[in-house]
Structure 1
């Protein structure tokens, strides 16, 4: 049986089309009297420089030769077989052992003949040379286009090209890019963002601008599927690639080098989103038994590692635990906390009980926007001056290399350090600008936030809760304080996002989880049915007892004899807590 092998690479001309190769191979079979033939079509876009294992049809052909199924092979020419000398010599070894005929066009090649083998070896070496030379030339042209800011190939989503071939921003797609970054910063994971875009009928690039079909290759078995471009929807992986791509802050990556292009977002905003990206990781792969409401929010106050959720259907394991416990030699010893208890407490206390809403109303009522803006603008000017100095230092370092005073290696460490510092300064500048913008629109923002939180009790789904928590809660820091071997208290510091500052602090008893006590103003939140039934006097006594156990000392700052009232704060031995709460006391005074 005759084997007809066809292949077309991206660089080939139209005359080398698969259709033309097939027609020539079938005519050859009829002319030579082959009554049976089998086609091995590698398809389009497959490089002759690939290894045999990366070319499924060539591998299948070799297997059929070894098994005795194939007695002769036809290729249009030698470069259809390979542009890789290793592939050539491997193939020749197989056909010499199997003693089969090999045709390039109409010519029979006898590889047992020394001259034929030598000539074919030279052609193989030239094929590989031409492939590598062509690759270098192509890369050179593409690099020059990147330097000039011109488009090539499929452009990143959010970009198009003008009539001169230059890369420019696609106004409609750029709105979607900004929305993707905004949702990610709000704590929405990549899979969920894709789901929301699909739900809103936002078309992908394929769906909106391309027609026809495309092929998808299975990364393990090499099989290909044909799909309609009009059916392409958003996927989590696509969203993640958009979030990671530096092109969106104006730096196009080509072969490891960055080239300037029009930016859709600022570098500082891009960095801020990417710093937050690890907190938004979606569950994927195997079916998830539990959705963790506080995933990415809880950090260990002892070793600063993340807490991660672990649960089973039977609730035998049902807790957030410090990730240091995964490694025996790194276990910091901080206690794990029950998932249901901490999730229910955070949701009920801050959202359902409207503590967060009250905090927002108090914050805005005490905010002097005009004075705050002046202070932030002063900070902004200082940061901008610092950025100018940083840029000047980078320029001087580069000049020393160009002038031959120092080598690249000598200044590389300092340049990397300066670039990191510049990135941090830009993020701080972006944060200050956002804060100023928020203060300038304080009435609208406060109204929107309060309205949103007014709707909380209507929001019951996990996804809606998750979005709100990610939007308003920055992090929850957990520490453990033991009273004896089995009992003690968690200290919970809940830090806010948005334009709110500071945190709320609570003591949460373990192992019973009966109550949580606010660290500052003597508020106790009963959690168990037993403690919900206790009287106010009983609960007040528990507060004083816990404050005493936790080393809190009542410090009186003033006393009014006429009204028999006193001003005071609770001093704590714990790092950072007293300073924060005393500041609150000063603000209230």
Structure 2
């Protein structure tokens, strides 16, 4: 089987780099020309300079598949897709030779066991690493110079876009929303109430303009969840960040320096709203804290989303609720569960009466599933140890 590896460090302008689609196209054409099955591995938005295999998930899967003899041929558009780091290249070559896997850059076989080829690819690897390092330095310098001249790079704050001259330009439709947010805050509405109102009016967020996904790590379970950008809704913390961002009074902060840009609000109005926000926070007092017993381990039977505790000690809201219900694109019919009732039930029956513990212990084990998980854990441990040794050899 052919392993087709595709990588791009970030979204680039058309014609500036080889897209994932083009890399996949040529790889699939190669596999079909050889009459072989194929599997595509794609690392998008990941730098080839990254030395941590764990932060290149698809590349790690490719290496694992080579080790398990699932992949016998590797295709890549060119060597720079595999790496821009000499340590990674040495490890890759070592693995390919150990498992007799054939290497096809641009669809042409290259025997990595030939001394001359080892030398040439080694020099290419060093050149790739040098190119990436020098480019990184130049890009940082260019960004710094442009920023001081009022130019933007990357994603602009809500209410702004990149103008034809490369500088910040106001998006009038979004600017009107920004003005409404500030006025609602001044009128006494909380940030989460403002977010709910914007969602109810179906006002799009900045991310709604883009396709693709982004990932977020849960602070309780450490699980990484993928979200579609088109489904991102307004949240209270986003509204708070907009209100406190000095960019809307015409001040962009860059490395501790103030850079003037077109303002959406007067400095006086921005300050008035922020003072009011700070005063409201002081009136609320110290935030009550509650440590939820079941966060990260309970899930909804209706939509499989996580149940998360929500308790306001000075209010009526005190329940574990399905996170899926907060997402307008997920239909869920579950109801909240009283925190006091469910936690008391768990504590009593699991730790005091121990009836629940005995009941759970008496349930028949799914030995087939258990054995499958144990085998998977064992394989993962072996893979980690193998990668650790391979990394040591590379040095």
TM-score class normalised by the smaller sequence: 0.5 to 0.7
Q: After TM superposition, list the pairs within 5 Å mapping 1:34-113 onto structure 2.
A: 34-43=35-44, 45-50=45-50, 51-113=52-114
Alpha-carbon offset, residue 49 of structure 1: 2.5
* TM-score (structure 1 length as normaliser): 0.43
2:389 aligned residue: none
- Is 1:287 the equivalent of 2:288? no
Contact residue 309 and residue 339 of structure 2 kept, 8 A: no
Deviation string, structure 1 residues 359-397 (Cα, Å, up to 9, x no partner): xxxxxxxxxxxxxxxxxxxxxxxxxxxxxxxxxxxxxxx
- Number of aligned residue pairs: 292
- The aligned residue for residue 272 of structure 1 is 275
| Alignment partner of 1:23 out of 8, 13, 25 | 25
1:190 touches 1:282 (CA, 8 Å); kept in 2? no
Please say if residues 244 and 274 of structure 2, whose CA atoms lie closer than 8 Å, have aligned partners that are also in contact: no
In structure 2, C-alpha distance between the alignment counterparts of 1:292 and 1:186, rounded to whole Å: 23
Residue 258 of structure 2 corresponds to 258
Show the 5 A alignment for 1:336-415: none
Hey, what's the Cα distance between the residues in 2 that align with 1:103 and 1:271? Answer: 59
1:191–1:236: 8 Å Cα contact kept in structure 2?
Answer: yes
Deviation for aligned residue 1:248: 2.1
Please give the alpha-carbon distance, in whole angstroms, between the structure 2 residues aligned to 1:253 and 1:138: 19
Counterpart Cα distance in 1 of 2:153 and 2:288: 33
Structure 1 residue 30: Cα displacement: 3.8
Q: Is the CA contact (8 Å cut-off) linking 1:181 and 1:243 kept in structure 2?
A: yes
Taking a change above 3 Å as real, the CA distance of residues 36 and 250 of structure 1, as seen in their structure-2 partners, is same
Pairing 1:195-344 to 2, within 5 Å after superposition? 195-207=196-208, 210=209, 213-219=211-217, 224=226, 226-227=228-229, 229=230, 231-263=231-263, 264-266=265-267, 268-269=271-272, 272=275, 275-276=278-279, 286-290=308-312, 292=314, 313=340
With over 3 angstroms needed to count, the CA separation of the structure-2 counterparts of 1:256 and 1:102, relative to structure 1, is farther
Following superposition, the deviation at residue 276 of structure 1 comes to 4.6
Any conservation in 2 of the 1:6–1:41 contact (CA below 8 Å)?
yes
Cα 1:203–1:69 shift into 2, 3 Å: closer
Higher RCO (CA-CA < 8 Å; seq separation 6+): 2
Q: Is the contact made by 2:185 and 2:273 (CA closer than 8 Å) also made in structure 1?
A: no
TM-score, with normalisation over the residues of structure 2?
A: 0.62
**How many angstroms does 1:61 deviate by?**
0.7
Q: Within the alignment, does 1:8 sit opposite 2:8 as a pair?
A: yes
Cα distance, 1:260 vs. partner? 1.7
Verify the 8 A CA contact 1:184 1:277 in the aligned structure 2. Answer: no
Which residues of 2 match residues 110-121 of structure 1 at below 5 A?
110-121=111-122
Shift of 1:162: 4.9
User: Where does the alignment leave 5 or more consecutive residues of structure 2 unmatched?
Assistant: 296-307, 317-337, 342-395
What is the aligned partner in structure 2 of residue 142 from structure 1?
Answer: 143
Question: Following TM superposition, by how much is the alpha carbon of 1:87 offset from its aligned partner in structure 2, in angstroms?
Answer: 2.3
Q: Which has the higher strand share?
A: 1
Query: In 1, Cα distance between the equivalents of 2:114 and 2:280?
Result: 63
Q: Is the 2:192–2:235 contact (alpha carbons within 8 Å) kept by the matching residues of 1?
A: yes
Query: In structure 1, how many angstroms separate the alpha carbons of the residues matched to 2:253 and 2:280?
Result: 20
**Residues 3, 70 of structure 1: 8 Å contact kept:** yes
SS in 1 for 2:29: helix
Q: Note the aligned Cα RMSD (angstroms).
A: 3.6
Aligned equivalents of 1:221, 1:98: Cα separation in 2:
33
Structure 1 residue 67, shift from structure 2 partner? 1.7
Over 3 Å counting, the alpha-carbon distance change for 1:46 and 1:70 in structure 2 is: same
Q: Give the structure 1 partner of residue 331 of structure 2.
A: none
